[in-house]
């Protein structure tokens, strides 16, 4: 089956087969969901007439064919499902189960490869037996075993369901989008064919800006064409994988938490994130938490020691009383009735004791922070008297420490705790370490050697687990055999604490997370946003999805379906994609060839891997390479822990990634400060899809910068990353066309993410035009006719109706939409503008400019940080725009008062656009004033300077007093008898 290139059914694992015309059978023409005809008929007979992955209705012609067949094929269908399930699903995954009987070699680990060969033999023999078994002699299964193996009705149901937006909400929304597109075409026809000769420069600039805005609107709007909602069923997941009296069959998950500087990222915040992970509602033997300390700080290490000790009390308390959230700082700070739904009499007493223990724990951690404020001259020293290896943060060895786990300390009740691992990768001068992306890739390799969970969940150090069942929500999708095979990651929305109710600077990003991401979920999936994401480890290794046609070197697969739209034409394949998709088959085939060798030695094994160039892809670690082949994860039982630690130290060496594919095709992709967008884009280009999961209770919560300066610098970083991607080889404008696996609407969404910073150039020009019009008395629009008035009115109405209908299906409030619109202008004329110039400087001159912020202490009151104003160059452009538009409005009214009644008509159009700019910049003005008008002196000086300059410009261009005609004055004097 693997060599034939035919896609496999997602339900039973068998080949899809062909229809009556000889073409590959396609159940859903919207998403090309691979399902064989027998499974499709079974779904229809069960009453499910929509695709489980995308929610689109099945073709009526296919439904009619199934109904005509009647119930005659029901028994055949059942037997087919049973046989295909045994042969397809079980045989496919048997290669990931290794039974190791001998000790692992300390240096190379030969038994791992031997086990792989043995499992391959078992897989081949099992397939032969199942295929050659005569149909007349079915296997005899005892009745009691049949009763035990028969799944419950709840366990056989799908683990997640797609709920499309109701048609009465979505159809008008689409109709208005098309109508707005038509109105835009007519509007631009009018604007271009009616130039303003008296202000040709202003008119031409405005038309160019408006065309760019329309282009940006198309990029932003059409990826939201088919938004969907999803619901996961945790109860069905438990019924299927957690049967009473049996070990849990849930997949293991490795959690990644990354931190750099404990003085900027307080250890107490990181500790709360770690504690919420250790207390998550998931089997403890399936959870491992890896903390990456990229700053090699002894403060982080010591605080993690205290955290591991406190976790022995905190974890059993959380699970005993089912508290939410399970981050102690945020649980104890809740202003709610904590006795609600708590019936245990001992709860109050234990809660008080736990709060007292947590306060003592905080005192110990804060004492460590106070101690770390001043570094000793001789460097830090550990408790045993040896120097701390990370005293030189730029030159230190790799460090790994396992605190908790099956061999570590247990909780106070004697139960096992999840594994907690401290990791600090090696740093040496002269090596490129790639910041966060490099740290995440180091965690991928360490976790593969130590635990090798099939799924990875990464969190920022300030994003704690707010919903203890969030991992189960993700597993409802990833472990669903009908949905999860093609899913590279499940992305959760970001939610934040500590933001004021009005959300002055749109820190919550509600429009992006509740509108744009829902729209992408209906295409190929949401973008990866850096945190709160559960990955399929195989997708991070650069492999393609299992259901995609197998691509062989030098040949196209026998049947290729484009992800953009179904077509019979075979698209040209990208050589890089062909190479990556063929890797797994090459290694599987090579290991299969080892079955012909009875006594292969280390030399033959190393020659084999060298021949296949796998070290050039994954690096020089045979243990890690073996782990990449275990699709279901896991570590051999006989693996020696000390050997694995030694191998883990090896894979986090600073030179391990040299001359490999790490950061190019594997793991987090390098080349941008927004490595999250780039990494998700690469996975989508390989044919994977992602899923957006929005539980009722937010899965994760974090902290966001709420003052103006910090918010602008955050947006600057995001915009700079987009500009870097735009100038890189991974630009969505030209990358990833070869395989035809990236859908066109998905590509539009990615193009939007990399071109939006360039909107700052026309935006700042368009925000300047109203002031120039008011100061010069000219206007960018000629005298309006009835047709032109209708076009302008239709355009404004279509903009408003589109927003209203978008709010209707998304549930976003109008206040959130307005805040998002305001900050789009604020960020566009400041952070985005600086990002574009910084990107050009880096590209052309190699100058990496950093716009730093001077830190100041925040007030102790609630939202005290909101009123802080830190001087930064990002404040200059919006301040300038505010001043010139305010001066322009004053000048316009003054001029109208002097000219009389006929001047008031044209004035209103000019003032409308100027007020549009001022209203959008109002949150910036409010933030600039701070509390009690405590504006920085430098901002006041700039404001006075700019106001003076523009006042002088105004007097020069058009003074307030009317010009006197000297000839007319002379004639008047002659006629008067002096």
How far apart CA 646 and CA 806 sit, in angstroms, is 55
Count of all residues that appear for the chain in the document: 978
SS3 assignment, position 100 = coil
Q: Which residues contact 644 (CB under 8 A, 6 or more apart)?
A: 449, 450, 623, 635
How far apart CA 700 and CA 465 sit, in angstroms, is 5
Contact present, 923 and 882 (Cβ < 8 Å) = no
Does the annotation flag 294 for ligand binding? yes
Does the annotation flag 258 for ligand binding? yes
Residue closest to 812 by CA, chosen among 515, 503, 501: 515
Backbone angles phi, psi at 386, to 5 degrees: -80, 150
Burial class from Cβ neighbours inside 10 Å (0-12, 13-18, 19+) for residue 531 reads buried
Does the annotation flag 460 for ligand binding? yes
What is the greatest pairwise CA distance in the chain? 134
Does the annotation flag 555 for ligand binding? no
User: Sheet of 464-465: strands edge to edge?
Assistant: 464-465, 700-703, 495-497
What's the alpha-carbon Rg for the chain, to the nearest Å? 32
Does the annotation flag 682 for ligand binding? no
Residue closest to 734 by CA, chosen among 750, 717, 710, 758: 750
For residue 572, how many other CB atoms are within 10 A of its CB? 12
Pinpoint the alpha helices (H) of 289-434: 298-321, 328-332, 347-371
How far apart CA 523 and CA 582 sit, in angstroms, is 26
Contact present, 791 and 184 (Cβ < 8 Å) = no
Cα 162 to the center of its chain, rounded Å = 20
Q: Which residues contact 373 (CB under 8 A, 6 or more apart)?
A: 263
Does the annotation flag 435 for ligand binding? yes
Backbone angles phi, psi at 91, to 5 degrees: -70, -30
Active site residue 59: no
The three-state DSSP-derived secondary structure of 683-726 is HHHCCCEEEECCCCCCCEEEECCCCHHHHHHHHHHHHHHHHHHH
Q: Which residues contact 525 (CB under 8 A, 6 or more apart)?
A: 487, 488, 491, 684, 688, 689, 690, 691, 692, 746
Catalytic residue among 676, 710, 816, 895: 676
Q: Which residues contact 903 (CB under 8 A, 6 or more apart)?
A: 895, 896
Catalytic residue among 14, 254, 294, 462: 294
How far apart CA 976 and CA 689 sit, in angstroms, is 90
How far apart CA 450 and CA 833 sit, in angstroms, is 45
SS3 assignment, position 259 = strand
Q: Which helix (H) or strand (E) holds 258?
A: strand 253-259
Say which DSSP state 104 is in: P
Residue closest to 50 by CA, chosen among 155, 164, 157: 164
Contact present, 460 and 702 (Cβ < 8 Å) = yes
Torsion angle of the four alpha carbons 240, 244, 250, 252, in this order, in degrees rounded to the nearest 10: 180
Torsion angle of the four alpha carbons 718, 719, 720, 726, in this order, in degrees rounded to the nearest 10: 120
How far apart CA 497 and CA 177 sit, in angstroms, is 35
For residue 402, what are the β-bridge partners? 421
Active site residue 676: yes
How far apart CA 270 and CA 823 sit, in angstroms, is 29
Torsion angle of the four alpha carbons 609, 610, 612, 616, in this order, in degrees rounded to the nearest 10: 110
Contact present, 704 and 646 (Cβ < 8 Å) = no
Can you say which residues are annotated as belonging to the binding site for Mn(2+)? 436, 460
Can you say which residues are annotated as belonging to the binding site for UDP-alpha-D-glucose? 258, 264-265, 294, 435
Can you say which residues are annotated as belonging to the binding site? 258, 264-265, 294, 435-436, 460
Residues with catalytic function = 294, 676
């Amino acid at each position: 089956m693997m060599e034939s290139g035919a896609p496999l059914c997602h339900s039973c694992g068998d080949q899809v087969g062909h229809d009556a015309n000889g073409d590959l059978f396609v159940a859903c023409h919207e998403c090309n969901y691979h399902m064989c005809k027998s499974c499709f008929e079974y779904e229809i007979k069960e009453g499910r007439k929509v695709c489980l992955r995308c929610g689109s209705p099945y073709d009526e012609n296919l439904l009619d064919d199934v109904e005509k067949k009647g119930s005659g094929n029901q028994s055949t269908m059942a037997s087919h499902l049973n046989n295909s399930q045994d042969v397809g699903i079980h045989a496919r995954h048997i290669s990931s189960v290794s039974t190791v009987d001998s000790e692992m070699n300390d240096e190379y680990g030969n038994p791992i490869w031997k086990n792989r060969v043995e499992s391959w033999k078992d897989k081949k023999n099992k397939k032969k037996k199942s295929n050659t078994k005569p149909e007349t002699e079915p296997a005899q299964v005892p009745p009691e075993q049949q009763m035990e193996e028969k799944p419950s009705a709840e366990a056989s149901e799908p683990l997640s369901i797609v709920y499309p937006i109701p048609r009465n909400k979505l159809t008008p929304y689409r109709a208005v989008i098309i109508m707005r597109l038509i109105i835009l075409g007519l509007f631009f026809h009018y604007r271009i064919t009616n130039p303003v000769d008296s202000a040709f420069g202003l008119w031409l600039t405005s038309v160019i800006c408006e065309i760019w805005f329309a282009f940006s609107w198309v990029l932003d709007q059409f990826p939201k064409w088919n938004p969907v909602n999803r619901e996961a069923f945790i109860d069905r997941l438990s019924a299927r994988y957690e049967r009473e009296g049996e070990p849990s069959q849930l997949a293991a998950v490795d959690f990644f938490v990354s931190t750099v500087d404990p003085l900027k990222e307080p250890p107490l915040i990181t500790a709360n994130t770690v504690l919420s992970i250790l207390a998550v509602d998931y089997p403890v033997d399936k959870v491992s938490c890896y903390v990456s300390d990229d700053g090699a700080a002894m403060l982080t290490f010591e605080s993690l020691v205290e955290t591991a000790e406190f976790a022995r009390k905190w974890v059993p308390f959380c699970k005993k009383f089912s508290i939410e959230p399970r981050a102690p700082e945020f649980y104890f700070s809740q202003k709610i009735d904590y006795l609600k739904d708590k019936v245990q009499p001992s709860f109050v007493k234990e809660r008080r004791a736990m709060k007292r223990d947590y306060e003592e724990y905080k005192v110990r951690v804060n004492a460590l922070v106070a101690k770390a404020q001043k570094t000793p001259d001789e460097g830090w020293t550990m408790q045993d008297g040896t120097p701390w290896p990370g005293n030189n943060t730029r030159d230190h060895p790799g460090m790994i420490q396992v605190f908790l786990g099956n061999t570590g300390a247990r909780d106070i009740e004697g139960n096992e705790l999840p594994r907690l691992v401290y990791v600090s990768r090696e740093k040496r001068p002269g090596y490129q370490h790639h910041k966060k992306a490099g740290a995440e890739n180091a965690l991928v390799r360490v976790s593969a050697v130590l635990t090798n969970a099939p799924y990875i969940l990464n969190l920022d150090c300030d994003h704690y687990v707010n919903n203890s069942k969030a991992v189960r929500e993700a597993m409802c999708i990833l472990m669903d055999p009908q949905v999860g095979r093609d899913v590279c990651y499940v992305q959760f929305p970001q939610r934040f604490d500590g933001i004021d109710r009005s959300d002055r600077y749109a820190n919550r990003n509600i429009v992006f997370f509740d509108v744009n991401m829902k729209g992408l979920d209906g295409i190929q999936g949401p973008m990866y946003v850096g945190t709160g994401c559960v990955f399929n480890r195989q997708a991070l290794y650069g492999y393609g999805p299992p259901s995609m046609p197998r691509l062989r070197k030098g040949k196209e697969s026998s049947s290729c379906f484009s992800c953009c739209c179904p077509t019979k034409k075979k698209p040209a394949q990208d050589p890089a994609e062909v190479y990556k998709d063929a890797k797994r088959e090459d290694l599987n085939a090579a290991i299969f060839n080892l079955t012909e060798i009875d006594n292969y030695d280390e030399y033959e094994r190393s020659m084999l891997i060298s021949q296949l160039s796998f070290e050039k892809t994954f690096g020089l670690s045979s243990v890690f390479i073996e782990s990449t082949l275990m699709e279901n994860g896991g570590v051999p039982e006989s693996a020696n822990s000390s050997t694995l630690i030694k191998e883990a130290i090896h894979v986090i060496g600073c030179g391990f990634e040299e001359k490999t594919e790490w950061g190019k095709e594997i793991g987090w992709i390098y080349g941008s400060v927004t490595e999250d967008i780039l990494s998700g884009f690469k996975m989508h280009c390989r044919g994977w899809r992602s899923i957006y999961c929005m539980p009722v209770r937010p899965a994760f919560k974090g902290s966001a910068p709420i003052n103006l300066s910090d918010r602008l610098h955050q947006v600057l970083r995001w915009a700079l990353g987009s500009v870097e991607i735009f100038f890189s080889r991974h630009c969505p404008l030209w990358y990833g066309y070869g395989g035809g696996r990236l859908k066109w609407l998905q590509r539009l969404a990615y193009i939007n993410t990399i071109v939006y910073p360039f909107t700052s150039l026309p935006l700042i020009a368009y925000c300047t035009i109203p002031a120039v019009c008011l100061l010069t008395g000219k206007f960018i629009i000629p005298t309006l006719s009835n047709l032109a008035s209708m076009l302008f009115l239709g355009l404004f109405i279509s903009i408003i109706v589109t927003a209203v209908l978008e709010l209707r299906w998304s549930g976003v409030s109008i206040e959130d939409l307005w805040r998002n619109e305001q900050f789009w202008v604020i960020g566009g004329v400041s952070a985005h503008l600086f990002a574009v110039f910084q990107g050009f400087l880096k590209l052309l001159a190699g100058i990496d400019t950093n716009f730093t912020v001077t830190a100041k202490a925040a007030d102790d009151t609630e939202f005290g940080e909101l009123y802080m104003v830190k001087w930064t160059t990002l404040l200059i452009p919006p301040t300038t725009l505010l001043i010139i538009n305010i001066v322009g409005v004053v000048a316009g009214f003054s001029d109208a008062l002097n000219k009389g009644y006929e001047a008031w008509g044209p004035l209103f159009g000019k003032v409308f656009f100027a007020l549009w700019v001022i209203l959008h910049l109002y949150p910036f003005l409010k933030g600039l004033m701070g509390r009690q008008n405590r504006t920085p002196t430098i901002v006041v000086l700039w404001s006075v300077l700019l106001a003076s300059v523009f006042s002088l410009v105004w007097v020069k261009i058009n003074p307030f007093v009317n010009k006197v005609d000297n000839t007319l004055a002379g004639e008047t004097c002659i006629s008067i008898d002096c």
